């Protein structure tokens, strides 16, 4: 039986430097570890190596620390991205905050009370999350030319560039 003290030892408050190292780690492993529905098995251990390379004295472990941060970031990214997808809601890349009229915020707050707290919160990593956390399928659908120019498929240990034909893809953001 574990006591409260043992559970508290595992709890980690991330510093800005640690979060930056984790984001950099995600960017470093993406070409080899990203797949259509997330990341391949073993990506957490690879991220742990990347974070340790950037911050040798850190005590961050793949489980539970990186896994919990990944889940939290995915949840927050999904929430913010769903807000930005709504008509009238935007994202200010300078202030890193959601933007909308007072009327729209009041309407959304009555419909979804948990979104009220999002109004004054800054989302420093939203740009990086949009690259790292969105599924490759959605990324392909919304930004096909960028996706096919940069995406590398890993097959049998060889990296093969994927060809792109613009006429095969719909680039409208409205349909999903």
Do residues 118 and 148 both lie within one domain? no
CA dist., res. 137 & res. 38, Å (int): 10
Q: What is the pLDDT of residue 21?
A: 96
Do residues 30 and 112 both lie within one domain? yes
CA dist., res. 107 & res. 113, Å (int): 10
pTM of the model: 0.69
Q: What is the pLDDT of residue 103?
A: 92
Do residues 80 and 115 both lie within one domain? yes
Do residues 86 and 125 both lie within one domain? yes
Question: Sorting pLDDT into bands at 50, 70 and 90, what band is 109?
Answer: confident
- Output the average pLDDT for the chain: 77
- Choose among 49, 115, 107: nearest CA to 76: 115
- Choose among 87, 163, 79, 164: nearest CA to 126: 79
Q: How many domains does the chain have?
A: 2
Do residues 107 and 43 both lie within one domain? yes
Structural domain for 122, as ranges: 13-134
Q: 3 lies in a domain?
A: no
CA dist., res. 136 & res. 17, Å (int): 27
Q: Can you tell me the mean pLDDT for 146-152?
A: 39
């Amino acid at each position: 039986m574990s006591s409260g003290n043992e559970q508290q030892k595992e709890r980690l408050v991330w510093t800005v430097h640690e979060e930056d190292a984790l984001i950099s780690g995600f960017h470093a492993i993406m070409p080899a570890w990203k797949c259509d529905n997330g990341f391949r098995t073993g990506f957490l251990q690879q991220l742990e190596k990347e974070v340790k390379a950037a911050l040798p004295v850190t005590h961050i472990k793949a489980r539970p620390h990186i896994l919990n941060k990944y889940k939290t970031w995915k949840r927050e990214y999904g929430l913010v991205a769903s807000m930005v997808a709504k008509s009238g809601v935007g994202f200010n890349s300078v202030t890193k905050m959601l933007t909308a009229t007072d009327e729209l915020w009041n309407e959304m707050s009555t419909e979804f009370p948990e979104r009220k707290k999002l109004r004054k919160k800054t989302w420093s990593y939203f740009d990086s999350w949009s690259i790292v956390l969105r599924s490759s399928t959605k990324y392909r659908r919304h930004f096909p030319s960028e996706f096919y120019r940069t995406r590398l498929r890993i097959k049998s240990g060889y990296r093969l560039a994927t060809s792109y034909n613009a006429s095969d893809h719909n680039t409208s953001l409205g349909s999903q």
